Structure 1
Amino acid sequence: MSATRHLEAPTTAPIAAPIPTQLPELKPGTYLTETQWQVLLALIDAVVPSIVVESEARDQKNQLQISQAQYTEAYERTRRLMKQPPDYDKFKQYLAARPLDNPRFMRLVKNTIQNVPDSSRKQLGTVLSVIATRLGSLAGTGYYTPLQEQPVHVREAIIQAWNQSWLTVWPVIGKSILKMAKTAFTQTDPLFMELIGYKEAPENYQPAPSFEFDFLQFEESGSSVETVETDVVIVGSGCGGAVCAKVLAEAGHSVVVVDKGYYFPNSQFPMTTEAASQFLYEGNGMLQTADGSMTVVAGSCWGGGGSINWSVSLQSQGFVRQEWADQGLGFFTTQEFQHCLDRVCDFMGVSDANIRHNHRANVLLNGSKKLGWAAKSCPQNTGGAEHYCGNCTLGCYSGEKKGPTVSWLPAAAQAGAQFIEGFDVSEVLFDKRGRSKQAVGVLGTWVSRDKDGNTHTLESGRVKRQVRVKAKKVIVACGTLHSPLLLMRSGLKNSHIGKNLHLHPVGHLNASFNEDIRGWEGGILTSVCTTFENLDGKGHGVKLEPSSMIPYMFLYEHPWRSALQWKLDALRSRQMDTFIAITRDRDTGRVYPDPDTGRPVIDYTPSAFDRKHILTGLVALAKLCYVEGATEIWPFVQDVPSFVRRPSEPANSTQTDVGTEDKGDKGEEDIDQGINDPAFTAWLKTLERTGVNFPSATFTSAHQMGTCRMAANPSRGVVGPEGRVWEAENLYVADASVFPSASGVNPMITNMAIADWIARGVSRDLKKDRPRARATL
């Protein structure tokens, strides 16, 4: 065993762009049969096809042909709606491009299929095989000719029909194909990025110096188990684990932090979207609930979610603290909990000073003011820096965001903590002598980097070792999705493990404005509207927030009603803003291991109660966008058309009606109706009447909480008030999985404060044990 310092590549000149992170090698195997691939690619091709004037078509099967009149109208409308429209030749080139001819697009599609869970891939393959036959095609598409043999306009019509089908299976399949195609296109099409002005590498790129971590290394040595000894082993390097590491190391205890993810220095950030999905996110950024209703975004790298979150740092609200205290957890209304909140905020320099709001943040603030709603700036964990950065979700290169790898873990290292990356813990180890079960360490598999220090190569070419970390205390902090699975694998039986899952389900809305916005620039989430956060009188409702504008993140669920419509909408994305209605969910789901792979399966569907709140939030967001001048508004609900604002008619001040002498009050038709505009109110009624129901509407989650719930007794939760697991001694959980219910705010600060509290308790226990240990010698 040795320690290796992770060094950045030496440079003799300023870095002009991030050091590329190579994508993983495609694993051997086709994953689908040749026929299944043909059907899948035929469907993907129909979502974002080559679109040409019918007289110029060169491929009757694979080019979507429209009339010259349609084509001219599409270009003229684009010129009219865009501040910086492309010239005709570029427009023509954009529409005519066929993504299937782009090697980067094809590689991403293949990698996506490779990373789909086995069970889901088998289900998809079965459907593809069925509709590849004549009878199956007739049943599934209404056409006797197999889908892969159809021209692209028929394939487009099939997807349109699936989206409207009353049989749930077809909208679900259709949405999966749409998501795959739109995501791959917006991540890989070079002309699309050029025309919207999106650059993968920031201008004037200058990454901050990175902390030089020392990671323990293990030599290849047969089948023997390598052993490391420490006072405390912490499983997970995210917000909870990193705080525990700093607190315990600075208290004088030996600490080892392990994580299945790997570290990447600032010079590799921001990654390309494909690389970030692979190396920074759980499930390669493709995690979904079991029913497909929700996309779940979770960090999976050194630093966890704190490495890819958006800097917003909101403290737990009083009504949530009281709710938790009323459940027998009085700590949450003590001044000590406030001290914990303040301590973590002070360490990261959390502040709402020096925030520079971008367009969508100002839409929320100014629109709320016009409507009489409560809105405010969101404090950021950036040490008071302006941090006008929209790339944090792909890795923050500036070092201004004081996440785990910038602040907590370096502080822990300086106090003596040790680290192991690439270490997947399989179980907690117990000493089962006597009546009590005592945690004594963890066992797992360590996979090294390759000989060049990379992580994209196949594991078969790297060192792999079984490692046991022996410890007096074990802290599980591997996140709401994995902490309960680790406890299950370790033999714990508490019925609440994996239950009580809260996800803060999110509804989305895009809006276009008559301005060149380039929304991927500037802080991601710097303002919030709180007027609707308590819709039921018990603390359940929605907050209205801006969201990330990395193109694929706000376009992959942008409504698709036809290939031409979606391609034209995507071209206008430089004038769009995106917003979310984020719900403090009352109702819950669960997480459990896939029986074949052990991966987390997320069993969660937003309830009717919580969906009603999401709908209220989407209506409110539409009103905010309307009063701020939005020209078109798209809720992410397939069955609701976009709202298109009518062009304003200039007032005629030179003429008056005959016989009109009154110069005083204006008639009702002359006043600015604002959100009472009849066309807008009629559209809102359509949205409200339709509702947000899967599969017409889909949802997103970036916050996972509650699966190892804290409770006053073991009949109601997994851990006690100090984070100690009820079933075992010396075993703790210290991440968002211990939340007694949904936090209602972005959970980072609450997570860190609870971890601070738990770690201080662990330190006290260790110090109490020391005299007894000496006395027995």
Structure 2
Amino acid sequence: MAAPFNFGQLKFLKALTEALFHDADMAISVDQVVANICDLFTKVGGTKLDEIRLSLTATELVLGGPFFTEDDVASRAEKLADRFQNSQIDLFQDMARLRGIVYACYYGHWNAGDQDANAANPVHAQIGFILPKFRQRGAGEVPIEPVTGREIDPTHILDAASLDDEYDVIVIGSGAGGGVAAYNVAAQGYKVLIVEAGPFYPSHDITHHELDMIANLYKHGALQTSTNRDFVVFQGRCVGGSSTINNGICLRVNEAGRTHPDALDVLAKWASIGAPVDAAAFHASYDAVQAKLGIAKIEPRSGRHNGPHLINGWASYAAASSDPRDTRAVADWFAKNFGPPNTPTACSYCGYCNSGCAYGRRMGVAQTYLPAACRDHGARILPETKADQIVWQTTVDGRREAEAVKLILPDGSKALVRARVGVIVAAGTIASSKLLDRSDISGTGYQVSLNVASPVVALMPDGVGGNAWDEDQMSSYVDCGDFLLESHFQPPMSMASLMPGWFDDHASRMKNFGRVHSAGILFPADRRGQVKDGKLEFRLDASDDLPVLRRAMATLTKVHFAAGAIECYPALARGQTITRGMDVDAFFAAAIREQDDVTLSSSHPHGGNAINENPQYGVVDPECRVHGTTNVLVTDASVFPSCIRVNAQWTTMAMAHYATGRGDPFG
């Protein structure tokens, strides 16, 4: 495969890397970091590679063109600080995000081979990180060993040669919505084809090589952004979708005892805007998914360090708070499909959830609904295939009926596959909107919502709290009413990309890998976005959203200090440090003037093809059928009429079950 960058771009990348590590010790060479960057973008390829090439050229020009590479390292670092780290210019702030890629490709370094080949990984040694295979587990703990028997049978995976010309139902997307829908319609006797744009990665093919897994399992290698580059949008692009690479968090909307009592009633909101959902039936769908996935509250031992940090910090903070919302807040352990807990097959809390479970212990869609649909009901999966367009015919009453789907197959050839009964679209908010738009469905991609996340990292006293990397990535949460706080910690590569700071500050924070704890905020940005020309446009509302963002970040920082933190590192573009005694509220009021000032992400895009009784205000009806059609359903999070406020996996699955599991949706 051709090298992803030309000579000039490689020279600039090397100069940039040297500057970003100015005054910092490096355990591997600059050339090796550049090689890691090349390896990442060779695997990602496509439009994202084109974007990074353009960004490199533009960034070099802003930094002085070829003169930048000729400067000494100190001068280059000074230019980076002046023009990017401390800039308020949106374009320069966008370019500054290259630092995260460079740091990720340093701390994501992997020697060729398996965990044994990386037992002495020099970068891991530098920050005191130990790979799962070499961690000591005592009596009563879950061994870090594979669980077998849950994976999809490889004989149920199709290629271009084994694809039939027609199926009863074609399901587009194999994630939370598609997997549940495919199982339900296959169980009703239909011959089902499941089309997935990403590759098939059973658990035994997943490794702890973060750069490799993220390049292969995420859309755009986890570098998908909004059009203004202010939001990173994480979405799985593999068999099982985001359920293969998420943290398995399962929260119902407005669950009594698990949700803040003052939180917006989501289903009531939907009804008020023309999208009534039968609440009893919807919660029955939650129950059905729970039984299939073994969803239950996690064992505290799986989040033994970073999890209690948030819960105990919140208890101390809330006890001193005069805000009545804080006294009514809910602090608890997450429920997950990582288990079931207290069984030999429970989560072994290796900390690598977001790059795929190498141990087959996650009860994701690819370990539950999909293998059952194939094994028990004859469904088949076609990975690495793009659904390009739905082909229509017109019925006698003037409605459109899906007749076939145009596919771009793994070998690059095209095929027209007939759908005798119907089509189910479940490719996610962005991809489903694009497909429906290409298929001449009007009104798609509007009013997209995000649960917006941003981290705050805390430095703890030496010897306090334990190694946060030796546990489940996300284990506890606090529902504060209008936002959530969620504990989280990442393996080295991912943690480096979200760790604030520049130059030796960033390196020093990473060297304290065993002393930092971390959590993030999650707040609803309701119907602020639009999928336009195939990409997500999204902007926070300055008067409604930014105050919530500032208050959530300030609250989390105070909780860290209440838990004993020495100093905190919020995910701000400049990488500032907050120390005890500072006016935290005043700090964030000054530091966050616009959304560009803080690193923002979301793993939960939803909306775009909303349910509404009136086709003028929604794409699908209350049964999730596309208005004006006879046989096309949408069963993913894109049908949510407004922001659901909490992590989206379980609600997406419940929506798919609600649409397909209460009877024959095509009957």
Q: Which amino acid aligns with 1:117?
A: K
Kindly tell me: are residues 31 and 165 of structure 1, through their superposed partners in 2, closer, same or farther at Cα, counting changes over 3 Å? Answer: same
SS in 1 for 2:226: coil
Determine the C-alpha separation between the residues in 1 that align with 2:387 and 2:37. 34
> Equivalent residue for 1:584?
524
1:36·1:128 contact (CA, 8 Å) conserved in 2?
A: no
SS in 2 for 1:732: strand
Deviation at residue 196 of structure 1 after TM alignment: 2.5
1:108·1:184 contact (CA, 8 Å) conserved in 2?
A: no
Deviation at residue 156 of structure 1 after TM alignment: 0.3
1:612 to 535, 539, 547: 547
What pairs up with 1:19-168 in 2 under 5 angstroms? 27-28=1-2, 31-32=5-6, 34-49=7-22, 51=24, 94-95=25-26, 97-102=28-33, 104-108=35-39, 111=42, 114=45, 117=48, 120-121=51-52, 123-128=54-59, 130=61, 146-162=67-83, 163-168=85-90
Deviation at residue 549 of structure 1 after TM alignment: 1.3
Deviation at residue 351 of structure 1 after TM alignment: 1.2
> Equivalent residue for 2:357?
396
Determine the C-alpha separation between the residues in 2 that align with 1:557 and 1:309. 16
1:742 to 643, 653, 658: 643
Bigger drift between 467-476 and 199-208 goes to 199-208
> Equivalent residue for 1:635?
570
2:554·2:584 contact (CA, 8 Å) conserved in 1?
A: no
2:510 to 558, 570, 573: 570
- Structure 2 gaps of 5+ residues are 111-120, 135-142, 256-264, 319-325
Deviation at residue 183 of structure 1 after TM alignment: 1.3
Say if 2:185 is the partner of 1:248: yes
2:91 to 169, 182, 187: 169
Deviation at residue 587 of structure 1 after TM alignment: 4.3
Determine the C-alpha separation between the residues in 2 that align with 1:351 and 1:567. 38
> Equivalent residue for 1:695?
596
1:640·1:686 contact (CA, 8 Å) conserved in 2?
A: no
Determine the C-alpha separation between the residues in 1 that align with 2:586 and 2:647. 31
Q: Which amino acid aligns with 2:102?
A: A
Residue-by-residue CA offset, 1:512-555 (whole Å, 9 max, x unaligned): 11236332221222211112x2xxxxxxx210001241223232
Deviation at residue 752 of structure 1 after TM alignment: 0.8
1:289·1:295 contact (CA, 8 Å) conserved in 2?
A: yes
Kindly tell me: are residues 218 and 633 of structure 1, through their superposed partners in 2, closer, same or farther at Cα, counting changes over 3 Å? Answer: closer
Determine the C-alpha separation between the residues in 1 that align with 2:213 and 2:470. 18
Residue-by-residue CA offset, 1:281-330 (whole Å, 9 max, x unaligned): 01111111111111111100000011111121111116111111222333
2:147 to 183, 205, 208: 208
Residue-by-residue CA offset, 1:253-276 (whole Å, 9 max, x unaligned): 222211112221221224411111
Deviation at residue 592 of structure 1 after TM alignment: 2.9
Deviation at residue 28 of structure 1 after TM alignment: 2.6
Kindly tell me: are residues 743 and 699 of structure 1, through their superposed partners in 2, closer, same or farther at Cα, counting changes over 3 Å? Answer: same
1:227·1:469 contact (CA, 8 Å) conserved in 2?
A: no
Deviation at residue 106 of structure 1 after TM alignment: 4.8
Residue-by-residue CA offset, 1:538-573 (whole Å, 9 max, x unaligned): xxx210001241223232232224x22221111112
Determine the C-alpha separation between the residues in 1 that align with 2:50 and 2:619. 30
Deviation at residue 29 of structure 1 after TM alignment: 5.8
Kindly tell me: are residues 694 and 383 of structure 1, through their superposed partners in 2, closer, same or farther at Cα, counting changes over 3 Å? Answer: same
Determine the C-alpha separation between the residues in 2 that align with 1:211 and 1:552. 29
SS in 2 for 1:482: helix
Determine the C-alpha separation between the residues in 2 that align with 1:205 and 1:339. 34
What pairs up with 1:429-448 in 2 under 5 angstroms? 429-432=391-394, 434=396, 435-447=398-410
Deviation at residue 764 of structure 1 after TM alignment: 2.6
**RMSD of aligned residue pairs (Cα, Å):** 2.5
Kindly tell me: are residues 542 and 618 of structure 1, through their superposed partners in 2, closer, same or farther at Cα, counting changes over 3 Å? Answer: same
Aligned length: 616
Q: Which amino acid aligns with 1:632?
A: E
> Equivalent residue for 1:557?
498
Deviation at residue 355 of structure 1 after TM alignment: 3.8
Q: Which amino acid aligns with 2:16?
A: L
Determine the C-alpha separation between the residues in 2 that align with 1:428 and 1:114. 27
Say if 2:537 is the partner of 1:603: yes
1:383 to 327, 336, 340: 340
What pairs up with 1:496-507 in 2 under 5 angstroms? 497-507=444-454
1:264 to 192, 196, 201: 201
What pairs up with 1:182-581 in 2 under 5 angstroms? 182-188=103-109, 190-203=121-134, 205-209=144-148, 210-215=151-156, 217-218=158-159, 227-317=164-254, 319-332=265-278, 334-352=279-297, 354-356=299-301, 357-372=303-318, 373=326, 374=329, 375-381=331-337, 382-385=339-342, 386-389=346-349, 390-413=351-374, 414-432=376-394, 434=396, 435-447=398-410, 464=413, 466-493=415-442, 495=443, 497-514=444-461, 515=464, 517-531=466-480, 533=481, 541-561=482-502, 563-581=503-521
Determine the C-alpha separation between the residues in 2 that align with 1:200 and 1:731. 46
Kindly tell me: are residues 220 and 473 of structure 1, through their superposed partners in 2, closer, same or farther at Cα, counting changes over 3 Å? Answer: closer
2:176·2:242 contact (CA, 8 Å) conserved in 1?
A: yes
1:220·1:465 contact (CA, 8 Å) conserved in 2?
A: no
Determine the C-alpha separation between the residues in 2 that align with 1:519 and 1:697. 24
Kindly tell me: are residues 548 and 236 of structure 1, through their superposed partners in 2, closer, same or farther at Cα, counting changes over 3 Å? Answer: farther
1:717 to 601, 618, 636: 618
Deviation at residue 638 of structure 1 after TM alignment: 3.4
1:377·1:526 contact (CA, 8 Å) conserved in 2?
A: yes
2:40·2:211 contact (CA, 8 Å) conserved in 1?
A: no
SS in 1 for 2:526: coil
TM-score normalized by structure 2?
Answer: 0.86
Kindly tell me: are residues 554 and 106 of structure 1, through their superposed partners in 2, closer, same or farther at Cα, counting changes over 3 Å? Answer: closer
Determine the C-alpha separation between the residues in 1 that align with 2:219 and 2:178. 17
Deviation at residue 45 of structure 1 after TM alignment: 2.0
Kindly tell me: are residues 125 and 270 of structure 1, through their superposed partners in 2, closer, same or farther at Cα, counting changes over 3 Å? Answer: closer
Q: Which amino acid aligns with 2:636?
A: D
> Equivalent residue for 2:587?
686
SS in 1 for 2:451: coil
Determine the C-alpha separation between the residues in 1 that align with 2:509 and 2:43. 24
> Equivalent residue for 2:117?
none
Greater Cα radius of gyration, structure 1 or 2: 1
Deviation at residue 395 of structure 1 after TM alignment: 1.0
Determine the C-alpha separation between the residues in 2 that align with 1:152 and 1:30. 25
SS in 1 for 2:165: strand
- Structure 1 gaps of 5+ residues are 1-26, 52-93, 138-144, 449-458, 534-540, 594-599, 646-678, 769-777
Q: Which amino acid aligns with 1:738?
A: V
SS in 1 for 2:446: coil
1:707 to 590, 608, 614: 608
Kindly tell me: are residues 169 and 418 of structure 1, through their superposed partners in 2, closer, same or farther at Cα, counting changes over 3 Å? Answer: closer
Q: Which amino acid aligns with 2:285?
A: C
Q: Which amino acid aligns with 1:417?
A: A
1:228·1:470 contact (CA, 8 Å) conserved in 2?
A: no
Identity rate of aligned residues, in percent? 21
